[in-house]
Amino acid sequence: MTKDLFSPTKLGSIELKNRFVMAPLTRNRAGEGGVPQPLNATYYEQRASAGLIITEATPISTMAHGYPALPGIYTDAQIAGWKKITDAVHAKGGKIVIQLWHVGRISHPSLLPNGALPVAPSVIKPAGKAFTYQGLVDYVAPRALDASELAGIVADYVHATKSALAAGFDGVEVHAANGYLLDQFLRDGSNKRTDNYGGSFENRARLLLEVTKAVVEVAGADKVGVRLSPVNPFNDMHDSNPQALFNYVADALNPFKLAYLHVVEGGIHGGGIADPFDFDAFRQHFKGPYIANLSYDKQRGNAAIASGHADAIAYGVPFIANPDLVERFQADAPLNEADANTFYGGTEKGYTDYPFLKA
């Protein structure tokens, strides 16, 4: 059988009707208390023709938040809100996993309990501005996590994973990309620690591997993915030797037999120029299913699948503007243009009102 975007596949125990993955897309439209709303259910349900939906990044605790109006996955009300979404997606024959998120230093005291400082591996203030309810403000210098606190972070991932399963998700994705907490530990531009969580590749990968182990013990490896972004400079990130580091990380993840590895193959969000990186060589280090992400169109997606580079392709902005992206690619139909002004926050405008091909 020909392997292309339209052929079925399996990521762990998650059976996909096609190889289109809706990438995680922050949209800042959750209700009070980080509870998903009916509008959010409509948005995800509209896109259920994707083989797999990965939800917007979802904070695992009150300290994991870094932006306004994010949905959480740690309270009973949030679980109930997400359950309506998973039910709606499943009713349309779709599959959906939740992306588990801790932003680390990419936050602001105004977004955290009792005006707490954001936490990070090291006291390094990121360049740029935090997006808060008061508008854009300078980031602050974070507080360095003590090694004794890291078991509590792992416990938050465990609680969030249990909450996700209670909400009916088909699996979970551990977000270790794009300059957030786990990525901050991985890359030496943000991790200057001298304890067991800093210095060597082994030490810098330790927290990610502890989180992955704990999440796998709850959900089963066949329902767990990990997302990496080896050279994305977004959120003031860099590493002195990304190829060697992330080849090491891929090797270290192999024993878990994960459902998939999801990789941002370059730089996104206008964060600057990405360092050179050989993603084909990196791909050879990971032995399980691989989701490729970054500026793929239909032709490149099909080629990556046919060559064996990827098992599925994640599309971001195209899914924002085209809830029926699968059908449009199948028909070689024109795509709706995305309105960047409505990406973050707001109402149904630019969220659930993009026209379908068959409208």
The pTM (predicted TM-score) of the whole model is 0.98
Selection from 256, 232, 240, 216 nearest residue 176 by Cα? 232
Long-range CB pairs of 207-210, under 8 A, 24+ apart, other chains included: 207/150, 207/153, 207/154, 207/182, 208/174, 208/176, 208/182, 208/249, 209/252, 209/253, 210/150, 210/154
d(CA 243, CA 252): 14
**How far is Cα 53 from Cα 260, in angstroms, rounded to an integer?**
14
Do residues 154 and 215 make contact, with C-beta atoms less than 8 angstroms apart? no
Residues of the chain with pLDDT under 70: 270-271, 359
Q: Which residues are catalytic?
A: 180
Are 113 and 190 in contact by the 8 Å Cβ rule? The answer is: no
Q: What is the pLDDT of residue 8?
A: 98
CB 44 within 8 A of CB 53: yes
Give the pLDDT of residue 359: 65
pLDDT on residue 164: 99
CA distances to 93, 127, 254, 324 from 277, rounded to whole Å, are 37, 23, 20, 33
Task: For strands 119-120 and 143-144, give the pairing.
Answer: parallel
Residues 148-179 pLDDT 10s: 999 999 999 999 999 999 999 999 999 999 99
pLDDT of residue 271: 67
CA–CA gap between residue 245 and residue 240 (Å, rounded): 9
The pLDDT of residue 244: 98
A 10 A CB-CB count for 129 gives: 12
Task: Please give the domain boundaries of the chain with CATH numbers for all domains.
Answer: 9-342 (3.20.20.70)
Nearest by Cα to 61 from 160, 166, 142: 160
The helix or strand, by DSSP H or E, that contains position 97, with its residue range, turns out to be: strand 96-101
User: What element of type H or E holds 213?
Assistant: helix 206-219
Q: Which among 305, 325, 293 is positioned nearest to 51, based on CA atoms? A: 325
pLDDT (0 to 100) of residue 273: 84
How confident is the model at residue 217, as a pLDDT?
98
